[in-house]
Amino acid sequence: MSLRSRPWLPRLKRAVLGVAMVAALTACGGDVHDRFRPSRILSVGDEYSYIDPATGAKYSVNRARSDGSYNCDEYLLWNQIVAADYGIRFEQCTPPDRNPDTRGQVLAQPGALAADIQAQVDNFGGFRDGDLILVQVGANDVWELFQRGVNGESWTALAEEARTRGRDLGTRIDEWTRRGARILVLDVINQGSTPEAGAVAQTVSNARTRLRELTSEFNKGLRQRVADVANRRIAFLRANDRVQVAVDDDQYNFDNRSAAGCTVSPATDCTQHTLRPDFDPNPNRREYIFSADRYLTPAMNHILGDVAVGLIDDFPF
């Protein structure tokens, strides 16, 4: 699978680099730099990056073998695409006939909040100089805060808390870089545009709007903190912008931009055998953005992975 076969990738690379924060602008000043080559890749966060170490199940669409087991080498997540660009395979996705590649570790856990990523790293044994840490987290924070608002808490106060959690995440990853890590961090995808939000909106008024606002505040706090520290070891990818482009306009020409392509939930149970009739999970097809609940299809993961590869290829870590 070529990571650079998309005619739109050069345009996306320019767009992402243009917003990759002050860190990139202050770091290189036009100088030539050698591409950073990590000794290990650690992927922290929540369901968007998770691979079950026992089954290979992912929160997307899973490729089922004839015996019912999962082949996690197909229908890749965004973080798998980034790791593959460095010739690294996550240990949690080791085929039966291969030896584990311990250079790649998925530490992300279902249900994780932004505050949990430190424990993910600590439980693994920490990181070391030369590690690349992939960070995608915050969606569960948005949903937790949303539920508290539904239960009667002040939406204004919850928006401020979302912004604070985003800022705290930015502070955390900045601290990691001071101990030698390099970071690629993704912001939170607009939870108000997901099929899960659509389902909740049937019983909760303004659900999509509230979820969008909380997402925006979390991302604002994260983005501002990353800009404030102007750290050349932090690459920032506006994943939310990429998904919203897919949802809102015709750049990617997805056929269905709001519904779930899977007929089952949770997404870890979704395979090529449990899809809507008009959904081909091939990553090169542009049919559905969302797999199940709030999670992304292989096609949308492939877009994010391609953009992430383009960003870190050119980033002066």
pLDDT in tens, 105-124: 999 999 999 999 999 999 99
Has residue 2 been placed in a domain?
no
Number of domains into which the chain is organized: 1
Is there a domain that residue 67 lies in? Answer: yes
Q: What burial letters (b/e) apply to 170-204, b meaning 16+ CB within 10 Å?
A: bebbbebbeeebbbbbbbbbbbbbbbbbbebbeeb
Digit-coded pLDDT (tens) for 171-187:
999 999 999 999 999 99
Is the residue at 255 inside a domain? yes
Print the domain residue range for 286: 9-313
Q: How far is CA 304 from CA 18, 214, 244, in A?
A: 16, 22, 12
Kindly tell me if the per-residue pLDDT of 1 is higher than 50.
no
Domain membership flag for residue 4: no
Name the pairing type of β-strands 104-106 and 182-186. Answer: unpaired
Whole-model pTM: value is: 0.89
- pLDDT digit string, tens, across residues 11-30: 444 444 444 444 444 444 45
CATH of residue 151's domain is: 3.40.50.1110
Strand pairing report for 288-290 and 256-260: parallel
Decide if 260 is inside a domain: yes
